Amino acid sequence: MVSPTLLPASLLGFAFLSGLIGIRFKKGVAYILPIVFAVTLGLLIYMSRGVLDGGFLQGFTGGERPPYSINLVLTPFSLLILFLVHTLSFLLSIHLLIRGVPEPATKFVPLFILNILGVSSIILTGDLFNLFVFLEILSISSVSLIGFMRDGKGLEGGLKYLIVGGVGSSLYLLAVIILYKYTGTLNMADVGMRIGEVPEGMRRFVMLLIIAGLGVEAEIFPFNMWVPDAYQGADTRVTTLLASITSKAGMFGLVRVLFTVLGAGMNILLYLGVITFVISELMALKTKNIKRVLAYSSMGQAGLAMIAFGINTAASIAAGMLLMINHAVSKFVMFGSIEVLTDRFGLDDIKGIGLKSPVPAWSFLLATLSLLGFPFFIGFWVKLNLIFSLKPYLLVPVLLIFAVEIAYYTRILWTMFSGEAKMGKTLAGSSAVLLIGVVIVIALAFVYPYILNLSVKGTSELLFRGLYIYRVLGGGL
């Protein structure tokens, strides 16, 4: 059986290879991107055989079993999110080839691959300190990509992310140091087994440090103030990466550590999710810049996912996983559509543009319907499951904010499909990639039972943390 270590190892190898290729073939280096993610998808498909049966696949270094080694663990939950990440990375790489990779491509391509390396490794790692290392890889590559175009807004957004992310990483590292002091180990499963050795007051302090540290990448309040400026300032191709792929690493890491290592913090996650959801959606309602609207929407969806995980029932956790998938695919299509449609992002700039460029505009519309949870889309079933899982006192506020979400997206769609277009641009190839994304959005509704089945298996490893601990310390059987 293939070890999970091959996935980050192959990404690291391709990142260095792309740099070497760029020295000799500067214009052809971008063609390596689809090859990279075709290979990683192939690896995931091959590794999934044992995991789909409910098992864990584990790889470790040094020839020793955990906790005496650094380990990477492929579980049903991580497999689900990794398939999402690498499928969207493959589609985005094709989109980049057609639209053009930001120059210099010799720097952009390695950064892109390193970003996905950081995301994938955070999802796979079973070691608390290595999660910090991979978090740094993700942060450095993200900052570089946000400011890649070297314009004022991009550099401002990158600087804000750098400052907030640096503070967040430091807080997380402090939490890891405290846990190591009391347990003498860094392995997630081993710390989870020994967490009772940490005094209760210190456990709560560590929990707050971890929520603050990983909350930056998970885009939850109050650690997400960098998001609108970063999304607006970055090139839209980079924003597509951040919204649909990169943000999922923070969500996964936060959920993994709280559920598996600490076995606590769900109530705080729930309350922060509610605050994030309410504030973000209200900010989106009053915002006029499309990229900032979609940024606030992404923050709101992150909050909604945290609400689902915070409720801490089998149905709600499964809904949280599926919300991550629905949001990622929908935002991939939405940001891709906006990038194809226009170079300007005010409401007036998109007036009537849907009539001039129907394929990307209708792609945006269908992705929006899925995100909002309209019938016949996977978002409908996911939000329905979440509503049935909500505590009674949360039902009315959440439904009211759903109405706010519908209101500001209706405003965008009405503007897009009415009046006379000021400008518009599109390429047939890019429209084809968007159509593939739309097909995935629609197809998710038809394969919902299969995705739900895998998410239910992922739910078990979170609800019953002893299952993860036993499987990892028992050799991944």
Q: Is residue 222 part of a domain?
A: no
> Does the residue 246 lie in any domain?
no
User: Which of 239-243, 279-283, 454-458 bottoms out in mean pLDDT, i.e. has the lowest?
Assistant: 454-458
Whether residue 151 is contained in a domain is answered as no
Tens-digit pLDDT profile for residues 175-186: 999 999 998 888
- Indicate whether 472 belongs to any domain: no
Q: Is residue 282 part of a domain?
A: yes
Question: What would the pLDDT profile of 219-259 be if each residue is shown by its tens digit?
Answer: 888 888 888 888 888 888 888 888 889 989 999 999 999 99
Q: What is the pTM of this model?
A: 0.88
Q: By percentage, how much of the chain surpasses pLDDT 70?
A: 92
Domain membership of residue 7 (yes or no) is no
Residue 319 lies in a domain: yes
* pLDDT value at 426 more than 70: no
HEC string for the chain:
CCCCCHHHHHHHHHHHHHHHHHHHCCCCHHHHHHHHHHHHHHHHHHHHHHHCCCCCEEEECCCCCCCCCCEEEECHHHHHHHHHHHHHHHHHHHHHHHHCCCCCHHHHHHHHHHHHHHHHHHHHECEHHHHHHHHHHHHHHHHHHHCCCCCHHHHHHHHHHHHHHHHHHHHHHHHHHHHHHHHCCCEHHHHHHHHHHCCHHHHHHHHHHHHHHHHHHHCCCCCCCCHHHHHHHCCHHHHHHHHHHHHHHHHHHHHHHHHHHHCCCHHHHHHHHHHHHHHHHHHHHHCCCHHHHHHHHHHHHHHHHHHHHHHCCHHHHHHHHHHHHHHHHHHHHHHHHHHHHCCCCCCHHHCCHHHHCHHHHHHHHHHHHHHHCCCCCHHHHHHHHHHHHCCHHHHHHHHHHHHHHHHHHHHHHHHHCCCCCCCCCCCHHHHHHHHHHHHHHHHHHHCHHHHHHHHHHHHHHHHCHHHHHHHHHCCCC
283 is in which domain, residue-wise? 265-446
Provide the mean pLDDT of the chain: 84
Residue 171 counted as domain residue? no
Number of separate domains in the chain = 1
Instruction: Kindly state the average pLDDT of the residues 117-125.
Output: 93
Q: What is the mean pLDDT of residues 450-473?
A: 82
pLDDT band, residue 165 (cuts 50/70/90): confident
